[in-house]
Amino acid sequence: MNDLELRDVRVIDVAAGLSGDPVTLRLVDGRIGRIDPSPGARARGFVMPGLIDTHVHLFFDGGPDPAGSYLQASDSDRLDVARRGAERALAAGITTARDLGGPTAPAIALARRIDLGQLAGPRLVAAGSPITRPGGHCHFFGGEVANPAEARRLVDAQAAAGAGVVKVMVSGGGLTPGTRPDTVELPSDVLAAAVQAGHANGLPVTAHCHARAAIEAALEARVDMIEHASFVEPDGTVSISSELLARIRADGVVVGPTVAGALRTAARYRAAGRQADPDGRATIERLEARARIARALGEAGVTVLAGTDAGVTNTPSDVLVEELEAYRAVGFSTAEALRSATLHAARGLRLANTGEVRAGWAADLLLLAADPLQDVAALRKPLAVIRAGRVMAGSVGPTDPHSAGSASA
């Protein structure tokens, strides 16, 4: 029996954007067992759902050259990078993360070891190797396919291995020389085959799309989600299309604009003086446009999911609050920002009974000293991070902060 009691706390209702009167939460066997009123009690903290980062790369180190470091590392060193990234994410209040690009077998094995309690980390939804053209973006993870039959076989194999999502690289990307973010790189028949195979296996499909044409191709193929949505034209400029935004919304496709990773990468490039050359300047402008793209998505009524692209250049695995602060800076309400990393993220990842504080739902929770609806910066220093009913970081009371037994807030 793994029981925990959080007394006299105010629950953040992320759906309504409200904080309630003091209650006592009883956590039983990894679930929220009961929520009872605490009449007349003075609130001793705030409880909200654990954060969900919908876009991470735990096998990248988040340093100045993540792809180069990955390629030079041994298998054991790569696993150490991923393990440390998972621990860092959990300590920052991220109780679920979706890994959207890594070596299939190690990524799925990492997710299983975390589920079994052998390693500390968020619950992981792993894609494994992204589906990409030969020599395409992140081909070094092992997801190269040359035709529809190969795409179907690879997706079937990943589903059988335990992948929780399919990732397709529709455009090129910045970390892979020889690929172009401004063009469609995955042939339409290969893309369609991968999407159909993913859906046949009961898996959602998300598409890496920097080029505007890549967004259009992904929608034609009926993907469930789009990553980045950078709206890059063939000449490298960014042009946000209101018509395409309306289509994304009409098709019910959700988008993870990955603002934090983009801004951090741009900052690194500026520090290195890359704005002095035309290609570097264009790359920085494309990355820094991601914030206004997030604003345009929100204004168009598209559901935005918080994802950082953690692991890419200058982006460690604990910067999800920066993503939410970026949303606030472009006009999202605090409640909208919180939903992007809780309720909406859980729905987008198809996670049942996750993303809200409700009886019977997963006890993935944060205990906070201040109300995050007033300022998302309250998330930066959680008093406690609770994953599956266990305190994994911080403390909920005077007892052993990592005890599996009863404790009080």
Tens-digit pLDDT profile for residues 71-109: 999 999 999 999 999 999 999 999 999 999 999 999 999
Number of DSSP helices (H) and strands (E) in the chain, helices first = 13, 14
- The answer to whether position 381 is within a domain reads yes
- The answer to whether position 400 is within a domain reads no
- Tokens at 315, concatenated: 């982006």
- The answer to whether position 408 is within a domain reads no
Give the CATH number for residue 84: 3.20.20.140
Average pLDDT over residues 313-340: 97
Q: Count the neighbouring beta carbons within 10 Å of the beta carbon of residue 47.
A: 25
The pLDDT score that the predictor gives to residue 344 is 99
DSSP 303: P
364, 32 in Cβ contact below 8 A?
Answer: no
- The answer to whether position 210 is within a domain reads yes
pLDDT band at 398 (very low <50, low <70, confident <90, very high): very low
Give the CATH number for residue 13: 2.30.40.10
Q: Over 60: is that where the pLDDT of 183 sits?
A: yes
Domain co-membership, 97 together with 245: yes
Domain co-membership, 38 together with 68: no
**Cα dihedral sign for 28, 31, 37, 42?**
positive
The pLDDT score that the predictor gives to residue 397 is 73
Q: How many residues can be counted in the chain?
A: 409
pLDDT band at 279 (very low <50, low <70, confident <90, very high): confident
Domain co-membership, 98 together with 124: yes
Residue carrying structure tokens 């690879």: 154
Q: List CB contacts of 84: < 8 A, sequence separation 6 or more.
A: none
Domain count, the chain: 2
Domain co-membership, 135 together with 254: yes
- Tokens at 405, concatenated: 């037994």
Average pLDDT over residues 43-57: 98
The pLDDT score that the predictor gives to residue 401 is 32
Domain co-membership, 239 together with 221: yes
Domain co-membership, 273 together with 137: yes
Domain co-membership, 216 together with 364: no
- The answer to whether position 78 is within a domain reads yes
Strand partners, 368: 46
Residue 150's domain comprises 51-348
Strands 123-126 and 94-99: parallel
- The answer to whether position 149 is within a domain reads yes
Q: List CB contacts of 213: < 8 A, sequence separation 6 or more.
A: 183, 184, 234
Tens-digit pLDDT profile for residues 225-239: 999 999 999 999 999
- Residue 66 CA to residue 315 CA, distance in Å, equals 10
Q: Over 90: is that where the pLDDT of 15 sits?
A: yes
Q: What is the pTM of this model?
A: 0.95
Radius of gyration of the chain (CA): 21
Domain co-membership, 79 together with 18: no
User: Burial, 138: exposed, middle or buried (Cβ in 10 Å; 0-12, 13-18, 19+)?
Assistant: buried
Residue carrying structure tokens 């602060």: 325
Q: List CB contacts of 239: < 8 A, sequence separation 6 or more.
A: 212, 231, 233
- The answer to whether position 401 is within a domain reads no
Average pLDDT over residues 128-153: 99
Strand partners, 49: 365
- What is the average pLDDT score of the chain? 95
Domain co-membership, 72 together with 111: yes
> Phi/psi of residue 49, each to 5°?
-65, 150
Domain co-membership, 16 together with 86: no
Average pLDDT over residues 135-140: 99
Domain co-membership, 41 together with 117: no
Query: Taking Cα atoms as reference points, which of 292, 213, 219 lies closest to residue 254?
Result: 219
DSSP secondary structure, 45-108, as one string:
-EEEEPEEEEEE-TTS--SS-HHHHHHHS-HHHHHHHHHHHHHHHHHTTEEEEEE-SS-HHHHH
- The answer to whether position 399 is within a domain reads no
Domain co-membership, 151 together with 168: yes
pLDDT band at 112 (very low <50, low <70, confident <90, very high): very high
